[in-house]
Amino acid sequence: MTAEDYKNGQLILIDKPLEWTSFQVVNKVRWLIRKQFNIKKIKVGHAGTLDPLASGLLILCVGKFTKQIETYQAQHKEYTGTITLGGTTPSYDLETELDQTFDISNITEKQIHEATHQFIGEIQQQPPVFSALKKEGKRLYEYARAGEEVEIPKRTIHISAFEITNISLPEVEFRVACSKGTYIRSLAHDFGKALDNGAHLSALRRTKIGDYLVEDAVSIDEFETQLKNTPS
């Protein structure tokens, strides 16, 4: 692979580590390519954000392929993860502390499996207030961190699969296949409501985007090693 190959367009599948932002991955990969080939500029962008507390497949478009980012963003995605019942957080995940707790002693496995049914198909979902969506020029999380209440309109999303893969209360493991724009954190929060309880997302991994699988992705370290074995 040459510098010209990257400029003409490449797709890089990265297995994003926990605690990295998607932009940190983009910046690191851009820096590695520039360093390897001693070039001043190279375009790199990602096709769909993963939260810092999520791991898994991140598609990076390099060079001329950055023009195709929206195509990849629009593709269906699949996730696996863990929902923890019995407590809610303002961010709907572990970014913030518990703000409310609930008794889960009466929840049955049958209820948990049946609660998934109401989320299949086209549904209305409200994004979390701790998100990067913009309202009146400001990110929603900026309002949230300032303690300001803001009205967030619901959006139409599509969930084609939502299955429970393991139950070990308070933790419920799942697999979800969904459309662009789906917030799994919101799904976890709403899942708790469906059980007349509370819930938050405690683990998330993106396993698939369109036909691309996380099994085919490389870690950042592996990508760096591959680059170093490339003639500059």
Tens-digit pLDDT profile for residues 10-33: 999 999 999 999 999 999 999 999
Are 202 and 92 contained in the same domain? yes
Are 204 and 126 contained in the same domain? yes
Are 68 and 82 contained in the same domain? no
Are 40 and 99 contained in the same domain? no
For residue 179, give its domain range: 77-209
Distance separating alpha carbons of residues 222 and 150, to the nearest angstrom: 42
Are 150 and 204 contained in the same domain? yes
pLDDT band at 138 (very low <50, low <70, confident <90, very high): low
Whether the link from the prior residue into 170 is cis, omega within 30° of 0, is yes
Distance separating alpha carbons of residues 106 and 77, to the nearest angstrom: 33
Question: Is residue 64 a contact partner of residue 79, using CB atoms and an 8 Å limit?
Answer: no
State pTM to two decimals. 0.91
Residue 137 has pLDDT above 70, yes or no: no
Q: What is the bridge-based pairing of β-strands 155-168 and 54-62?
A: unpaired
Counting residues of the chain whose pLDDT is more than 70, the rounded percentage is: 90
What's the pLDDT score for residue 23? 94
Are 110 and 189 contained in the same domain? yes
- What is the distance of C-alpha 29 from the center of its chain? 19
Are 166 and 224 contained in the same domain? no
Distance separating alpha carbons of residues 212 and 13, to the nearest angstrom: 8
Are 49 and 128 contained in the same domain? no
Instruction: Give the catalytic positions in this structure.
Output: 51
Q: How is residue 166 written in tokens?
A: 């393991």
Query: How confident is the model over 154-172, as a mean pLDDT?
Result: 97
Residue 96 has pLDDT above 70, yes or no: yes
What's the pLDDT score for residue 136? 63
Are 64 and 143 contained in the same domain? no
Question: Is residue 83 a contact partner of residue 171, using CB atoms and an 8 Å limit?
Answer: yes
The per-residue pLDDT for range 28-79, each reduced to its tens digit, is 999 999 999 999 999 999 998 898 999 999 999 999 999 999 999 999 999 9
What residues does 16 pair with on adjacent strands? Answer: 56
Query: How many domains does one find in the chain?
Result: 2
Are 85 and 176 contained in the same domain? yes
Distance separating alpha carbons of residues 232 and 225, to the nearest angstrom: 13
Q: What's the CATH number where 21 sits?
A: 3.30.2350.10
Which of 35-44, 80-89, 126-135 shows the lowest mean pLDDT across its residues? 126-135
Are 115 and 132 contained in the same domain? yes
Counting residues of the chain whose pLDDT is more than 90, the rounded percentage is: 80
Q: What is the SS3 string spanning the chain?
A: CCHHHHHHCEEEEEEECCCCCHHHHHHHHHHHHHHHHCCCCCCEEECCCCCCCEEEEEEEEEHHHHHHHHHHHCCCEEEEEEEEECEECCCCCCCCCCCEECCCCCCCHHHHHHHHHHHCEEEEECCCCCCCCEECCEEHHHHHHCCCCCCCCCEEEEEEEEEEEEEECCEEEEEEEECCCCCHHHHHHHHHHHCCCCEEEEEEEEEEECCEEHHHCECHHHHHHHHHCCCC
Q: What Cα–Cα distance (Å) separates residue 48 from each residue in 7, 26, 82, 163, 206? A: 21, 12, 21, 23, 11
Residue 153 has pLDDT above 90, yes or no: no
Are 131 and 146 contained in the same domain? yes
What's the pLDDT score for residue 228? 87
